[in-house]
């Protein structure tokens, strides 16, 4: 897809909105991350400036999605976000201050829209408060803490804090097998390969996860998992690498279950305005409690 002179030297995300209407930034960012949008056959950034000589490729599925967002107004129409959805968001708020809202996301709810989802937490957040901006993502089947900023300034601050690793995250996971260690640090380089992530010592990116044993439960092991880097599916792949995949994580060898037993349990960060360090903890879902893990 090339573009007209009137779009010359536009940012890529603005060009997309001119073509397709009010596409949410989170959806553009996801498409760029997944290489569904390319500039001159190369990976792009949403902030990249493009000229009329450039070629912008948009995957047909994403092009259809963007077109539907504007022309058919099916996904982001306010009627798509029901009162039930907003109540789930409102009741899931664990922490709120002048800059942040931290929500306990249920398992099975996507954080961001995609070609196979018609509702997502960030869309519900916008319906609850149009100023909210997603600054922390977890997988659809992972439950737990998800962070939203209330302004662009706080969003930029939080993203910078993640980049310099000033935000500490702790997950709780139930592994499919008993483990025989108290603490272990996994350092395996990870590479995204389509919809999976694989260990690749040569081409992969650095990934480090610390696992700490909590207790054994009926032949399974409950652990804390602390990702020191932020790679896709990092905890899941690292757990599988020690032959103890997460219960319910069929993609990486875990025993089948209705739920993925991975919960974003705790986050420690510094407030934007005060610099005060806070720690926010999220209660475990009921399906954890049924197994009497705590």
Q: Taking the alpha carbons of 253, 254, 260, 266 in that order, is the dihedral positive or negative?
A: negative
Query: Are 73 and 118 within 8 A, CB to CB?
Result: no
Q: Is 54 a catalytic residue?
A: no
Q: How far apart are CA 5 and CA 51, in angstroms?
A: 8
> DSSP assignment of 211-270, as one string?
EEEEEEETTEEEEEEEESS--TTHHHHHHHHTT-PBTT-GGGTPPP-SS--EEEEEEEEE
Q: How far apart are CA 133 and CA 122, in angstroms?
A: 8
Query: Are 221 and 179 within 8 A, CB to CB?
Result: yes
> DSSP assignment of 94-152, as one string?
EEE-SSEEEEEEPTT--SS--TT-S--HHHHHHHH-TT-EE-----TT-EEEEEEESSH
Kindly name the residue from 13, 36, 139, 141 that is annotated as catalytic: 139
Q: How far apart are CA 243 and CA 245, in angstroms?
A: 6
Give the residues across from 65 on adjacent strands. none
Phi, psi (5° rounding) for residue 171?
-110, 155
Instruction: Show which residues are catalytic.
Output: 139
């Amino acid at each position: 897809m090339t573009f007209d002179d009137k779009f010359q030297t536009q940012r890529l995300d603005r060009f997309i909105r001119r073509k397709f209407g009010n596409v949410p930034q989170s959806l553009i960012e996801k498409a760029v991350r997944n290489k569904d949008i390319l500039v001159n056959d190369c990976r792009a950034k949403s902030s990249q400036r493009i000229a009329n000589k450039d070629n912008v490729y948009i995957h047909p599925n994403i092009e259809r999605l963007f077109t539907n967002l504007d022309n058919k107004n099916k996904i982001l129409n306010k009627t798509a976000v029901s009162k039930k959805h907003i109540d789930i968001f409102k009741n899931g708020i664990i922490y709120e201050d002048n800059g942040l809202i931290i929500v306990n996301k249920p398992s099975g709810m996507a954080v961001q829209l995609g070609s196979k989802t018609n509702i997502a937490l960030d869309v519900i957040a916008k319906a609850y408060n149009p100023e909210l901006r997603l600054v922390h993502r977890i997988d659809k089947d992972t439950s737990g803490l998800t962070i939203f900023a209330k302004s662009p300034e706080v969003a930029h601050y939080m993203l910078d804090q993640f980049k310099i690793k000033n935000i500490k995250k702790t997950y709780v996971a139930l592994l499919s097998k008993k483990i025989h260690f108290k603490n272990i640090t996994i350092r395996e380089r990870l590479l995204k390969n389509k919809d999976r992530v694989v260990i690749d010592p040569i081409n992969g990116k650095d990934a480090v996860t610390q696992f700490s044993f909590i207790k054994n439960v009926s032949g399974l092991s409950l652990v804390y998992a602390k990702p020191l880097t932020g790679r896709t599916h990092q905890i899941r792949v690292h757990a599988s690498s020690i032959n103890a995949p997460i219960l319910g994580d069929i993609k990486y060898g875990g025993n089948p279950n209705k739920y993925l037993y991975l919960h974003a349990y705790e986050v420690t960060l510094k407030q934007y305005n005060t610099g005060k360090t806070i720690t926010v903890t999220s209660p475990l879902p009921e399906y954890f409690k049924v197994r009497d893990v705590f």
